[in-house]
Amino acid sequence: MRIVIDRLEEWLMAALLAFMTVLTFVQVVMRYVFNTGWLWSLEATTYSFAALVLIGMSYGVRTRTHIATDLFTRKLSEPLQRKVAILAILACLVYAALMLYGSVVLVDRLMTLGNDARDIPAPKWLLTITMPLGFVLLGYRLLEVGWQLFRHGTGGLASGQQHAPAVDEKSDHQGDNP
Amino acid sequence: MTAAFLLTALFVLLFVGVPVAVSLGLASVLTMLLFGDQTLLSSSQKFFHTMQVYPLLAVPFFILAGTFMTTGGVARRMVAFANALVGHFRGGLAMAALLASAFFAAVSGSAPATVVAVGSVMIVGMVASGYTRNFAAGVICNAGTLGILIPPSLVMVVYGAITESSIGRLFIAGILPGIILTVVMMITVTVIARKQDMPRQERASFKVVVKTFREALWGLMLVVIILGGIYAGIFTPTEAAAVSAVYAFFIAVFVYRDISMPDVPKVLVEASKITVMLMFIIANAFMFAFLLTTEQIPQMASELIVGMGLPVWGFLLVLNVLLLITGNFMEPTSVVLILTPIVFPIAMEMGIDPTHLGVLMIVNMQIGLVTPPVGLNLFVTASVAKLSLEETIKASFPWLLVLLGVLVLITYVPWISLVVPNLLLD
């Protein structure tokens, strides 16, 4: 089950990115070659983009790709380091909770207004629901990482340092982190 | 008071190891709740809205293009072409490494990616031909910073999006400084090579030059498509980025055949990962910038600075020092995202050209990439060259002078950054 969910995240992110890219490319070709285009294309791209980022936030916690600095924590003693790391996770949880509250209010507001998106024939709240969902997932992954750190003292947030997070030995698909 | 709380909260969070993205977001949201009159609703809206900022759509597309290019043997072909061009000079392989980095920077928007791509091909070759490992690492580490100066550049996209200035213009503005920096570094190599009597290769025959050029051309066409398209007004930078991504896929899978079709999803996942990491920072930075604006913090800073009667050259000097220090502790995108909203209005007040300011910030970030404690290029080079971090820092250090020299030039001669865009676009 876990493996399925983990794979699903990756599959979804890859699909969204491919969809956005192909759609924008096709739009360019249609406009300059055939002089037509789909009205909904841009909106579909931006909502996919939002979904990609929002789903990806929690994936980033799991794969430790978020950049953090360990310049100062690195110098602390090990038990103290662990306490600070748990503190950092708590800060992230506060963040996730506040953002979740804000996005629930946003979706609720959009439901009350009941507007459709500009070009896509779908209600706006439905397209925005990826945001509360994203922050719930973020909170869940943070709790998971925090619990593991608390119980077993392993893992932690982020890559732990600003060491090129995208560069890992086992794959050639090296990062593009500027 | 508001500004003090915001900045204190931001730095405390950063120091205890909270990810940069969350530090920016949490500091902004807390400040807003305590001092501002905005609500959590408006920050969530701002966050979501970031993904609908049209220029920022270029970010995922350029990253995808870069990932296809980095994975494939594009770098290898560029190295072969560069070597055929300049390999016969004394210190030829080192010059080829510089040139190949410049070529690769023109298909990738990232500095560490350039180091990985060129370094993993070049360092072994240089060591085998009698260069010291440290010298090779120093060259690759610094040449790799061209990745964010020569278009396309992700840092430029971010700067353009947050200041609402033209990304196409910035791209074109990066060309001449990129060429100047490459030439200055090549001259430096020549001088060192003469002194240390470094090896040279046999001169490549014309046939080899043509053959390697034709192989590298497929990759190099990418920058031609991007710049040509933007220059001719066919594409927006976002569209150019999407076209590059599809083009890079096509080249890697069907022309060079370095990536097989079943590997494509892996490339997509990798590119998504980097996209999310960057966009998560950017979306939170947009909340941060939004808060700064609603609390009128840049205006206050601007009044303060302008009121001090600092001349433009003095302001630029202070700005460079600020950027260099910050660049030492954070990676380029974060620095640009945090400082631009504060610095930009002041610079505009002082009559500095937005494009010039962008190029200046980027050259500063290049230096940040090769200076400890947080220089991404140093970490990447150390792992590619199989040197310790300390050795890499030492090897890279002499090149810092070259970069600083070019920084002074870029800072005080705005003409370098502005002549090409003025010529082509106005």
Taking only the tens place, the pLDDT of each residue in B155-195 is: 999 999 999 999 999 999 999 999 999 999 999 999 998 88
Q: Which of residues 331-390 of B touch A (CB under 8 A)?
A: 331-334, 373-374, 376, 379-380, 383
Separation between Cα atoms, residue B392 and residue B24, nearest integer Å = 31
pLDDT of A158 higher than 70:
no
pLDDT of A60 higher than 60:
yes
* Nearest Cβ partner for B111 among A69, A84, A178: A178
Strand partners, A123: A116
Task: Between A39 and B174, name the one with better pLDDT.
Answer: B174
The residues, ordered by sequence, that sit 6+ positions from B422 with a Cβ below 8 Å of its Cβ are none
At residue B394 the predicted structure's pLDDT band, cuts being 50, 70 and 90, is very high
What the block records as the tokens of A160 is: 């732990």
Mean pLDDT of B64-82: 87
DSSP B51-77: TT-GGGGHHHHHHHHHHHHHHTTHHHH
Beta-carbon neighbour count of residue B280 at 10 Å?
A: 27
User: In this complex, do A166 and B15 lie within 8 Å of one another by their Cβ atoms?
Assistant: no
Percentage with pLDDT > 70 across chain B: 100
User: In this complex, do B44 and A105 lie within 8 Å of one another by their Cβ atoms?
Assistant: yes
Q: How far is B331 from chain A (nearest CA, A)?
A: 8
pLDDT of A165 higher than 60:
no
Q: Cβ-count burial of B202 within 10 angstroms (0-12 exposed, 13-18 middle, 19+ buried)?
A: exposed
Backbone region of residue B19 per phi and psi (left: phi > 0; alpha: psi in -120 to 50; beta: other values) = beta
DSSP B137-181: HHHHHHHGGGGGTSSS-HHHHHHHHHHT--HHHHHHHHHHHHHHH
What one-letter code names the amino acid at A87? L
pLDDT, residue A36, reads 82
Q: Chain A: residue nearest B155 by CA?
A: A178
B34 at A interface, C-beta within 8 A:
no
DSSP B76-119: HHHHHHHHHHHTTSTTHHHHHHHHHHHHHHTT-S-HHHHHHHHH
pLDDT, residue B76, reads 87
Mean pLDDT of A7-28: 94
Task: Between B160 and A164, name the one with better pLDDT.
Answer: B160
pLDDT, residue A161, reads 40
At residue A159 the predicted structure's pLDDT band, cuts being 50, 70 and 90, is low
Q: Cβ-count burial of A124 within 10 angstroms (0-12 exposed, 13-18 middle, 19+ buried)?
A: buried
Query: Tokens 């494939």 sit at which residue?
Result: B72
A6 at B interface, C-beta within 8 A:
no
Separation between Cα atoms, residue B62 and residue B236, nearest integer Å = 13
Please give the interface size between A and B, counted as residue pairs whose CB atoms are below 8 Å apart. 265
A157 at B interface, C-beta within 8 A:
yes
User: In this complex, do B242 and A102 lie within 8 Å of one another by their Cβ atoms?
Assistant: no
User: In this complex, do A102 and B39 lie within 8 Å of one another by their Cβ atoms?
Assistant: yes
pLDDT of A177 higher than 90:
no
A99 at B interface, C-beta within 8 A:
yes
Nearest to B98 by CA among B187, B217, B171: B187
Mean pLDDT of B397-423: 94
At residue B331 the predicted structure's pLDDT band, cuts being 50, 70 and 90, is confident
pLDDT, residue A108, reads 94
Nearest to B361 by CA among B214, B92, B101, B177: B177
Q: Which of residues 38-57 of A touch B (CB under 8 A)?
A: 42, 45-46, 49-50, 52-53, 56-57
Q: How far is B45 from chain A (nearest CA, A)?
A: 7
What the block records as the tokens of B419 is: 């002549």
pLDDT, residue A134, reads 96
B243 at A interface, C-beta within 8 A:
yes
User: In this complex, do A53 and B239 lie within 8 Å of one another by their Cβ atoms?
Assistant: no
A12 at B interface, C-beta within 8 A:
no
Separation between Cα atoms, residue B3 and residue B157, nearest integer Å = 27
Q: How far is B426 from chain A (nearest CA, A)?
A: 23
What the block records as the tokens of A21 is: 């890219």
pLDDT, residue A174, reads 36
Q: Which of residues 98-117 of B touch A (CB under 8 A)?
A: 108-113, 116-117
Mean pLDDT of A76-94: 91
When mean pLDDT is compared across A98-102, B140-144, B331-335, the lowest value belongs to B331-335
Q: Which residues of B12-30 are buried (b: 16+ CB within 10 A; e: fewer)?
A: ebbbbbbbbbbbbbbbbbb
pLDDT, residue B102, reads 94
Cα diameter, chain B: 71
Q: How far is A10 from chain B (nearest CA, A)?
A: 6
User: In this complex, do B44 and A102 lie within 8 Å of one another by their Cβ atoms?
Assistant: yes
At residue A154 the predicted structure's pLDDT band, cuts being 50, 70 and 90, is confident
pLDDT of A105-128, one tens digit each?
999 999 998 888 888 888 889 999
Beta-carbon neighbour count of residue A109 at 10 Å?
A: 14
Mean pLDDT of B375-386: 90
pLDDT of A6 higher than 80:
no
